[in-house]
Amino acid sequence: MAAALPNRIPNDSLDYRKSSIRNDDPRQRLIVALDVSSAAAAQKIVTAVGDSALTYKVGMQLYTAEGPQVVRDLVDSGRRVFLDLKYHDIPNTVGAAVAEAAKLGVRMLTVHAAGSGKMLRAAVDAAKASPDLMILAVTVLTSLDANDLEKIGVRGSVEDSVVRLATIALANGCQGIVTSAREASTLRAELGHSFALVTPGVRPAGTNARDQVRIVTPAEAIAAGASHIVVGRPITEAADPAAEARAILGQISG
């Protein structure tokens, strides 16, 4: 995969922690989701997007199909990788998985906040050997609403659940939170601005929501307090992925 990718991106643009989330370059905020089933399909997307994005999400679909090599190839090409495997297991197992992910050179990875403070702390501790790695805690999936939560025994509003889980995650050292931008403004108001806030479920205006429930536009997500937005199919399935990415960058800037 690496040999066919575009030219390597300079390393000085790759560090989230050294570059403010208010950076004038909107590419610092955009994460393109590679929700495909092969390295060849991922390569095609990365090549088509070109320098319109810096960071790519590798989730369960692509990682299960291709394994860690697809991550290594992206990292070797100079791309930043957001490894979105949503670890949720006993603390020892999650800590060991995070340690292995860190060896791949990923910059962000997800764990479920509902896994308990002990599990979150194990993940954070395992990542300490890699200062550039951010542990992001997933709160409530963007495909869920209050009715879904009630059916699994979670009482109260989605917003209440998100704030409760985010509070636990930050108290145990996580550097960021993953949630819908619909809860972003509340999180910023109650918990501040000292953490990354990554929002999936982002769709440009007029785009089909598909399996997402709590969706917002790129501009709405940024205005609500998101530091990063995750966009998949609107870019990856576009006739011109680079043009669609640039359009979204424009919305972010606006």
Mean pLDDT of 12-23: 43
Question: What is the tens place of the pLDDT at every residue in 157-179?
Answer: 999 999 999 999 999 999 999 99
Question: What is the tens place of the pLDDT at every residue in 36-95?
Answer: 999 999 999 999 999 999 999 999 999 999 999 999 999 999 999 999 999 999 999 999
The mean pLDDT value of the chain amounts to: 89
Catalytic residue, from 86, 103, 118, 128: name it.
86
Amino acid 13: pLDDT: 37
Count of CB atoms situated within 10 Å of the CB of 120: 27
* CA dihedral (237, 238, 244, 248) positive or negative: negative
The answer on pLDDT for 33 being more than 60 is: yes
Strand partners, 206: none
**This prediction's pTM:** 0.88
Contact criterion met (CB below 8 Å) for 194 and 172: no
Amino acid 203: pLDDT: 82
Q: What is the CA radius of gyration of the chain?
A: 17
The answer on pLDDT for 10 being more than 90 is: no
Amino acid 14: pLDDT: 36
For 126, what's the count of Cα atoms within 13 Å in the CB-facing half-sphere? 23
What does each C-alpha distance from 133 to 44, 64, 80, 108, 124 come to in angstroms? 26, 22, 11, 6, 9
DSSP state of 137: E
Contact criterion met (CB below 8 Å) for 93 and 25: no
Question: What is the tens place of the pLDDT at every residue in 94-149?
Answer: 999 999 999 999 999 999 999 999 999 999 999 999 999 999 999 998 888 899 99
Phi, psi of 65 (to 5 degrees): -75, -40
Question: What is the tens place of the pLDDT at every residue in 206-226?
Answer: 555 454 455 689 999 999 999
Calpha distance 121→180 (Å, rounded)? 23
For residue 19, what pLDDT band results from cuts at 50, 70 and 90? very low
The answer on pLDDT for 16 being more than 90 is: no
Nearest to 187 by CA among 207, 172, 165: 165
Count of CB atoms situated within 10 Å of the CB of 238: 17
Domain 25-253 class in CATH: alpha beta
Phi, psi of 174 (to 5 degrees): -65, 145
| Higher pLDDT, residue 203 or 121 | 121
Amino acid 11: pLDDT: 40
The answer on pLDDT for 22 being more than 70 is: no
Count of CB atoms situated within 10 Å of the CB of 115: 23
Calpha distance 213→13 (Å, rounded)? 33
Examine the residue annotation and report whether 86 is marked as an active-site residue of this protein: yes
First-residue to last-residue Cα distance in the chain: 34
For the ranges 3-17, 114-128, 198-212, the lowest mean pLDDT is seen at: 3-17
Contact criterion met (CB below 8 Å) for 185 and 197: no
Give the H or E element holding residue 167. helix 158-171
Phi, psi of 5 (to 5 degrees): -75, 160
Amino acid 205: pLDDT: 67
